[in-house]
Amino acid sequence: MRLVNFAIAGLSALALAQAVPAVAQDHGAAAGAKEAHSSGGHSLKTPADGWSFEGYFGSFDQNQLQRGYKVYREVCSTCHGMKLLSFRNLAQPGGPFFEPQYANPNDNPIVKTLAAEIQLPSIDPETGDPVQVAAKTSDGFPSPYANEPAARALNGGALPPDLSVMAKARHGGASYIYSLLTGYYEPPEGLSVSPGQHYNAYMAGDTAAQWSGDPRHKPPGGFLAMAAPLIRDGQVTFDDGTASTIPQMAADVATYIAWASDPKMETRKKMGAAVLGYLAILAFLVYLSYRRIWRNVEH
């Protein structure tokens, strides 16, 4: 299965290289990233130093999660909700702001402040008037729109999907999100883009209907209603001094969404390793007792 995936990824990487060579090269977003395979058959990009959370012993880098949350909060949250998350989740073990001295995530001062900076609609208990109150750690992330029609009206008819489990909802997970955010190339000559739509080399879809060139060389990717959200270096200021380039912001927010989609990953991996260790010791003991039981038996 892996081999097949590699073969598919290799083929589509070739196709991509042929179809948008000039576009991909003169665009800085491709720099510092390498092509990787994914389960979807698309050839996706991954950050130059890979994903820290992949592999049997991979884990999330807490600084990266904090940067990613900042990118989400300052850029993406204007359009995308994460309705499965509450502020206190950010302070749970493995989360961006977990501190061992605050066993109860509701006591974590950083997360308390982050929540309190956000105003939520409420009702004044005395007068019954609608009022705005500061969010508490137990509150869920606010939705950016009052309702779905409002969301569509403000996005040219398209609905910005909830990002809570986005890394699980798309083939390639974090690599897909990273590729999408850094995949807004200039549409090649001969590709017409409808108003309100944007060309992205990694969006699922088909460019054939809007491609006037040689059908064998139609550009990869598709169109979506989201304009490139990360457009300039330094758009988000990182508190840990990491250079805030577009690929860095994209990698950080993709990591943060990967964590949100699977917040128990680290616990699960540790448990898996412990179980395997236990089974190995057990197998050894069983082997020894087997030797002992059959010691004096002719066979």
Contact call for residue 221 and ligand HEC (CB under 6 A): no
Q: Render the burial of 109-127: b for 16+ CB within 10 Å, e for the rest.
A: eebbebbeebeeeeeeeee
Among 50, 140, 142, 161, binds ligand HEC (CB under 6 A): 161
# residues contacting ligand HEC (CB under 6 A): 22
Site for ligand HEC in 115-144 (CB under 6 A): none
Contact call for residue 225 and ligand HEC (CB under 6 A): yes
Q: Is 102 left (phi over 0), alpha (psi -120 to 50) or beta?
A: beta
Among 17, 84, 224, 265, binds ligand HEC (CB under 6 A): 224
Residue closer to ligand HEC by CB (options 32, 161) is 161
Q: Residue 87 is encoded by which pair of tokens?
A: 């502020």
* SS3 of residue 46 by DSSP: strand
Is the distance from CB of 124 to CB of 98 less than 8 angstroms?
no
Contact call for residue 23 and ligand HEC (CB under 6 A): no
Residue closer to ligand HEC by CB (options 196, 277) is 196
Contact call for residue 253 and ligand HEC (CB under 6 A): yes
Residue 236 makes CB contacts below 8 A (sequence gap 6+) with: 67, 70, 71, 74, 75, 244, 249
Contact call for residue 201 and ligand HEC (CB under 6 A): no
Residue 22 Cβ vs ligand HEC, minimum distance, rounded to whole Å = 25
Contact call for residue 82 and ligand HEC (CB under 6 A): no
Site stretch for ligand HEC (CB under 6 A), options 27-35, 77-85, 89-97, 105-113: 77-85
**Ordered DSSP codes for 156-208:** TT--PPP-TTHHHHSTTHHHHHHHHHT--PPPPTTB---TT-EEETTSSS--G
Contact residues: ligand HEC, CB under 6 A: 71, 75-76, 78-80, 155, 158, 160-161, 166, 170, 177, 180-181, 204, 224-226, 229-230, 253
